[in-house]
Structure 1
């Protein structure tokens, strides 16, 4: 019997793997394994040490050591936000949260005004605990008149700069990229914008004083590895930024993160909990200093239970995942190190472009145009299902209604589909799917069409499949539906399209499931429903056509 310890296996090269992959693809091109991100970065199907060294030009150790030197040692801080209808509820919820593992009093949107009485009670709370203030209402900053502990640690998050005197441990100079994030920014754009904001802010001070008050704020989206790499990349960029000011050994840069609401939906809201968990874990892997997890129902109004669940997401990561036992858990990963390097190069190039245009403030119009382009690309990908929002544009529950409440309002990718569902509820239509052929051949397209309709809250009537064209014709003639989709194979529909169109009532909007080489729209067919179609535009168009027919 062979002693396995004495057996040596030949190490396959990248080319060997590529040949095997092409064979497994059975005719599809190798390029089909490549994925291009919205940042313009091409994701490879395989990363190796050799390709990593080639990409980084032998500077892997320099990159990892920079990331580690720019990160403060110790686990991340849990900064769960509190809410409340009045200051008493807010303080009680914050104190209870601290008892249950929260480490920072976190202030954002609240349902009450910051009166002197409220500020006094908040000041007492902040005198005893470190804090994070996301400035929704500038009036909250009057709390510093009531904070007795002048050495308390704190962060002031805002896209505006506020001067805070007499609190040496409060950081009030913030590269705030969250607004850009909700306007569609890519990771590359967010990183460059953070540097550009810092460059604008540093003009009136020296770097040593500046870095003591500076920190960066990022929203963390659902692209796990991109989010990890974004946070790591900023530390590399910050080292390069400091060097431009003649600083060879800058202090570790503080990075505050919050889970993004860009992919949150009012539909199937518990999926938001999964999104938040994914985002929070990527922030921790990337090396965030503070993590805020938004409750899954924050769009319509958080509850005590949802706040506790959100806080426990961070606590489970911190206490149970063991990830905080490793200082740089992503360090050395061929994929993440390569992605980090790509972001560093591209973000620095965009930062220089902003600086050449006069800096962040002067280049705001250019930046806004770039962000709008990114946002439109994101929306189009969601509408075409190239980006899936589970429970919203795919795997949707057609019976679910969109809640009317709004607690937090930001740009979200799910909004077009939520609005579509509201529109169809206000102006309902009868929809029918007629399968032509055997069940096994029609079911895939029938199920696909049902899934498309479900995104608008439509539950269609599905007739029994039939291979008899006369039955299909009679079903269509007798249909009382406003909108009918024929589900058949390419061959069956091509052979019988004339007979089907001849039976179509003038008041019925008729579509075919699938994408065909021949266009039958001039012969009476309305359009087609197929994978890759812009679902939002398609269903909006159907509704508009129905209104025209009904006039």
Structure 2
């Protein structure tokens, strides 16, 4: 505006300039002889974070700053999941309402694209001008044809159809579908038809360097295999968008997005594409499921705030904030409104859309951006050396599994803090949901960082309730693989240090941990996957020849049946020397 006041340059001339040597000397003085290396932080990415960064840290680093598609004009895009066989009418109605109340676009996660009513969508929303995203696993070409059949002249938004990352069967057929989609949408510059599912790696515990490296590997496969007589290499590159999921590690998540843009330019340069092709990359950032909890769930509001701030400061073009209670509640107006309004507050009240690339020039952020980029490129090269994706998917999944297990152990030992779950727990917490129903639900997300702690806490709460009410039934709760070690480490953390080294517990590798709860007592046990599978079939009365049976997390039966089955299938008791299971569970519950 013409009458807007001019900004005054920021100046701190009243303060004397302090050299790096002076700062280092002050640190040594304040530590009173302690080694400065004790202040270093060693991350799961293998990066050592120093306690002090200085101007000289920028020497030799690549040129700083974000260019191209990174913008301050980021979009607020809520996500709506549409279940199998659902026409999506309810989600579409919610989306139309959200667009009137602060949302800039909508992302539909479609389980069954064929059932989704695109004609109804076209009647409720103007497809040519509304920013709409869709995630699809199968039938993507037919879905795009149905969208265009509504009569819309153009499409705006994106399609996430990533058969490489999502391990979709018939890859050759899916790539053919992608070529058709790129042909159909080549004249729609505001529609990204090739969105990569980088969130897959983040939501399984991958480090920021793994996430970038694996996304680049998927992109390289598409750049090699999609070009044809109908689709050029430049058209493939122009169709790319990357969906990422962000966790609460604030500065590293900012660095992740900045490093991704830097390496994207390197990747496209390797394929002979011009710099402007790399500058056009769009990033769609969503809050992660990996970091969400069902215990003290309002802490999720703090997590998604941190994650969203990291997204917009790191240069995301669109953000999607999940409701804080999505793990255990159906979509509801209260939590959806909080999620939708968070980006509005960051934009309108915090002013995070007023500065382009605010991280540029930060000694710390520029340094870790460079370190993340180097480590991520090394991971990408290693995947390519192993045959690239999808050939190396087994290696990728194994590395994700190892990193996730490491984080589970760090959480159990208290080294990695999840507020409300393994630190500052509320022992008197009353649940806003039915724990039994949640444990029985097939939709309960067991891939999250907090899951081993949660399932033990929920199972223990059920046991104490059953014991107090003297119900004559028994339950077996599947706690998961390797959970006995998590339980032991969590328990040891609560004991005086002199007791920790003397205690031992053992159970074979690869076994499943279970909690056997009777009206009198609770017993931690372990079993092989085959033992538990046969046990679950008997309790659930499922025939042995039923191929698609997946054992539920929570099994209940009368006490006699459960005791006989546990004995028959050879479950073994897990013990901690000197403590009963009840002692262990009561201590973990804060009782």
**Does 1:194 find its partner at 2:215?**
yes
Which residue pairs with 1:468 in the alignment?
none
Which is helix-richer, 1 or 2? Answer: 1
Deviations 1:14-42 (A, max 9, x none): 4x333332332345421121001111111
Q: 1:275 aligns with which of 275, 278, 303?
A: 303
- C-alpha distance in 1 between matches for 2:462 and 2:576: 11
- C-alpha distance in 2 between matches for 1:270 and 1:144: 38
Deviations 1:270-312 (A, max 9, x none): 1111111110110000000110101101111331121111010
Contact 1:105 1:126 in 2 (8 A): no
1:183 Cα deviation (Å)?
Answer: 2.2
**Does 1:177 find its partner at 2:213?**
no
Contact 2:118 2:150 in 1 (8 A): no
Which residue pairs with 2:30 in the alignment?
24
- How does 1:353-368 map onto structure 2 within 5 Å? 353-368=382-397
User: 5+ residue gaps in structure 1?
Assistant: 430-454, 457-482, 486-510, 528-535
Contact 1:33 1:44 in 2 (8 A): yes
- C-alpha distance in 2 between matches for 1:286 and 1:104: 20
- C-alpha distance in 2 between matches for 1:6 and 1:134: 53
Which residue pairs with 1:322 in the alignment?
351
- C-alpha distance in 2 between matches for 1:512 and 1:296: 29
Which residue pairs with 1:515 in the alignment?
497
1:344 Cα deviation (Å)?
Answer: 1.1
SS in 1 for 2:80: coil
Q: Which has the larger radius of gyration?
A: 1
- How does 1:418-429 map onto structure 2 within 5 Å? 418-428=454-464
RMSD: 3.4
**Does 1:119 find its partner at 2:140?**
no
Which residue pairs with 2:405 in the alignment?
376
Deviations 1:152-178 (A, max 9, x none): 212112432553253332322222221
Count of aligned positions:
445
TM-score between the two structures when normalised by the length of structure 1: 0.73
Which residue pairs with 2:58 in the alignment?
52
Contact 1:242 1:250 in 2 (8 A): no
- C-alpha distance in 1 between matches for 2:94 and 2:494: 55
- C-alpha distance in 1 between matches for 2:500 and 2:375: 43
Q: 1:75 aligns with which of 73, 76, 82?
A: 73
Please, which moves more after superposition, 139-148 or 416-425? 139-148
- C-alpha distance in 2 between matches for 1:201 and 1:316: 38
1:220 Cα deviation (Å)?
Answer: 0.7
User: 5+ residue gaps in structure 2?
Assistant: 1-11, 164-173, 466-485, 506-513, 516-522, 525-573, 584-591
- C-alpha distance in 2 between matches for 1:412 and 1:244: 36
TM-score between the two structures when normalised by the length of structure 2: 0.68
Deviations 1:197-232 (A, max 9, x none): 111001232431112211111101100000101001
**Does 1:295 find its partner at 2:323?**
yes
1:410 Cα deviation (Å)?
Answer: 5.4
SS in 2 for 1:106: strand
1:318 Cα deviation (Å)?
Answer: 1.9
Q: 2:18 aligns with which of 2, 5, 11?
A: 11
Which residue pairs with 2:153 in the alignment?
150
Deviations 1:75-125 (A, max 9, x none): 111111235787332222111111112111221267xx6666833212433
Cα 1:116/1:195, change in 2 over 3 Å? closer
Contact 1:175 1:195 in 2 (8 A): no
Contact 1:119 1:146 in 2 (8 A): no
1:181 Cα deviation (Å)?
Answer: 1.6
Cα 1:308/1:10, change in 2 over 3 Å? closer
- How does 1:329-344 map onto structure 2 within 5 Å? 329-344=358-373
